[in-house]
Structure 1
Amino acid sequence: MARMSVEVELEKGEVSKYRRHENGRGLVSPSAKVNPSAYVSSATYVESDAQIGPESWIGQGSWIEHGAIIGARVFVGANVHVGADAIVGNAARLASHTNIGRGAFIADGAVIDHEIQVPEFTDVSARSTGRA
């Protein structure tokens, strides 16, 4: 049987504890709320007080920071960073290598293209966001 909890030493010498999510084996803080139907890839971190809704898919190497909210049926690609207290609406799509700033709001159904940087506290509408 695989180990279900993991301790990770942070830069400052602090130790954080995570549990493995049953669907994908991603690392989830004990105070985070991840729906059992969500998929969290094995090299992904979900930090304290974050929430991931039903049927969402979180890709390899992604990082969901403290207090971030991921809605239902959201696709998060590989190596995506969702900043603290950001909100990603239902059925949104975040392509690989994107960075969602702290406190940003991504509307339901919004599509964020590859390698886009969404600044802190920015609201993104449901229309596609591509390269400028």
Structure 2
Amino acid sequence: MSRRIKGLVEFEDDRGAVMRYIPHANGGGLVAPGARVHEDAWLDRTAYVEAGAVVGPGARVGAGSWVDVDVVLGPGVQIGSNVHLGARTRVGARARVGANARVGQRVSIEQGAIVEADGVVRDGAVVESAGRTRRAGYGQAA
């Protein structure tokens, strides 16, 4: 269930907790209190940015994507549609994450790196700018 009150959007989750979001001026995506989204960033109206997250200038977050708690997106980052970025993930400047990708927690995606569409990056992995991944692994969704 959701409702809108003077720019505030509230949702009740499955446990009955009320989650509050504020639409971002550029695209209308929903931003939790405690998140910081640069005014030049663009969030699709169906994208969510959770508390503690930081979205840098020129970053774009696609439809249905979820930027989880304490994620940091650098300048010019491109996030495709239906992407989940796990908690405490770091995405370097001008990196790209393709549509439907699933990125685990505490992942580091280096500056200019690319996670392909439908990619899966496990918790704690490092995605290098040449497309190589250290630790934990990277693959295609089944």
TM-score by length of 1: 0.95
Where structure 2 has 5 or more consecutive residues not aligned to the other structure, the ranges are 133-137
Mapped to 2, the partners of 1:59 and 1:28 lie a distance apart of 14
2:17 is aligned with 1:4:
no
Deviations 1:58-99 (A, max 9, x none): 000000000011110000000000000000000001010001
Mapped to 2, the partners of 1:16 and 1:34 lie a distance apart of 18
TM-fit CA distance, 1:128: 2.9
Q: Which amino acid counterpart does residue 9 of structure 2 have in structure 1?
A: V
Mapped to 2, the partners of 1:105 and 1:10 lie a distance apart of 29
Secondary structure of 1:18's partner? strand
TM-fit CA distance, 1:4: 1.5
Per the alignment, residue 58 of structure 2 pairs with 55
Per the alignment, residue 20 of structure 2 pairs with 17
Q: How many residues align?
A: 131
Query: Could you tell me whether the CA contact under 8 Å between 1:87 and 1:103 is conserved in 2?
Result: yes
Over the aligned positions, Cα root-mean-square deviation in angstroms equals 1.6
Where structure 1 has 5 or more consecutive residues not aligned to the other structure, the ranges are none
Q: Which amino acid counterpart does residue 21 of structure 1 have in structure 2?
A: H
Mapped to 1, the partners of 2:15 and 2:74 lie a distance apart of 31
Query: Could you tell me whether the CA contact under 8 Å between 2:121 and 2:139 is conserved in 1?
Result: no
User: Deviating runs (4+, > 3 A) in structure 1?
Assistant: 129-132
Mapped to 1, the partners of 2:13 and 2:68 lie a distance apart of 14
Q: Percent identity?
A: 34
Q: Which amino acid counterpart does residue 27 of structure 2 have in structure 1?
A: G
Query: Could you tell me whether the CA contact under 8 Å between 2:30 and 2:45 is conserved in 1?
Result: yes
More strand by share: 2
Per the alignment, residue 135 of structure 2 pairs with none
TM-fit CA distance, 1:29: 0.4
Query: Could you tell me whether the CA contact under 8 Å between 2:109 and 2:127 is conserved in 1?
Result: yes
